[in-house]
């Protein structure tokens, strides 16, 4: 399938880029920022049907025709938003970045049937809450530009399911489990407008269904076909600042919070007053003599 080929291509590309990339780093430790921070990523979902269209004929146990016609499928556009934490590793290696968070996404699609015994149509619009985690490799193109390849896992929970209409009478229909788990691949193209701020348009595609296990499939079943959820997001992430450094007070230093009061050996302390009294006494002695 196309998403497996896409994953293989970019994975091999990232390995090659790791071997050849220059000694550049998106994050350099020891500055004014920590190695971790937050991110938010609004975007869109698109359900890619597989196959998009096919002709099918169904028979009952007596070999009588139940349906015969053409099934056409199309994916709808939904909304998604991701938010979470991210972390740069201080030492450069194959894995440069780690992130995790929560995601809301709406998956939509339709299916139409034309043929015997009658035409029919159905649609779905499901709402999911997901938890995800990703490990990423970063290939620097310039000081402020990079490509990011990520492998991750998402655990989805369908908290609202809307399925309406019908397909051909007698056709077998399937739907995803309430909590599907998938491995996915993300490709991002990043830009750093200023220190500590990162902007990345990203695309995410599933590469394997982990639960329920269905062999090498990476699509979700809806009605008589299967769909691949594609997420297109714009990630805005930033790093947290290091805490301000405070100078430690030295012993015997002036306490500026005490107005008019000073410690010993100060300019106006007891020692200075003693010296003043001694000078005054010597002056009176010379005058009398």
Q: Which residues contact 58 (CB under 8 A, 6 or more apart)?
A: 65, 66, 67, 68, 168, 170, 171
Summarised one tens digit per residue, pLDDT across range 108-145 is 999 999 999 999 999 999 999 999 999 999 999 998 99
SS3 content of the chain, % helix, strand, coil (to 5): 15, 55, 30
- Kindly tell me if the per-residue pLDDT of 270 is higher than 60: no
pLDDT digits (tens, 9 = 90+) for 86-106: 999 987 678 999 999 999 999
Q: What's the pLDDT band for 25 if we cut at 50, 70, 90?
A: confident
What pLDDT band is residue 156 in, cutting at 50, 70 and 90?
very high
- pLDDT given for residue 89 in this prediction: 92
Residue 227 pLDDT: 98
Considering only CA atoms, which of 200, 232, 186, 139 is closest in space to residue 3? 186
Q: Where is pLDDT greater, at 266 or 8?
A: 8
pLDDT at residue 259, rounded to an integer: 52
Predicted structure pTM score: 0.77
């Amino acid at each position: 399938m196309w998403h497996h080929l896409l994953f293989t291509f970019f994975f091999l590309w990232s390995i090659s880029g790791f071997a050849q990339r220059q000694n550049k780093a998106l994050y350099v430790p020891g500055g004014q920022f920590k190695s971790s921070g937050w991110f938010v990523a609004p975007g869109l979902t698109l359900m890619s049907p597989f196959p998009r269209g096919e002709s099918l004929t169904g028979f009952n146990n007596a070999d009588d025709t139940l349906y015969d016609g053409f099934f056409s499928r199309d994916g709808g556009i939904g909304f998604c938003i991701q938010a979470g934490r991210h972390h740069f590793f201080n030492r450069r290696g194959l894995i440069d970045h780690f992130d995790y968070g929560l995601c809301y996404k709406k998956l939509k699609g339709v299916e139409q049937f034309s043929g015997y015994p009658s035409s029919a149509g159905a649609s779905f619009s499901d709402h999911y809450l997901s938890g995800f985690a990703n490990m990423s490799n970063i290939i620097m193109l310039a000081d402020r530009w990079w490509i990011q390849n990520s492998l991750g896992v998402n655990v989805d929970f369908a908290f609202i399911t809307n399925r309406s209409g019908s397909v051909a009478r007698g056709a077998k229909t399937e739907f995803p489990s309430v909590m599907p788990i998938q491995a996915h691949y993300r490709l991002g193209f990043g830009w750093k407008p200023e220190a500590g701020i990162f902007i990345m348009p990203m695309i995410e595609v599933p590469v394997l269904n982990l639960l329920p296990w269905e062999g090498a499939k990476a699509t979700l079943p809806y009605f008589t076909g299967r769909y691949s959820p594609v997420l297109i997001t714009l990630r805005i992430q930033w790093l947290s600042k290091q805490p301000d450094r405070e100078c430690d007070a030295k012993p015997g230093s002036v306490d500026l919070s005490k107005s008019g009061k000073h410690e010993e050996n100060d300019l106006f302390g007891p020692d200075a007053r003693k010296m003043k009294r001694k000078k005054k006494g010597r002056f009176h002695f010379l005058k009398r003599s």
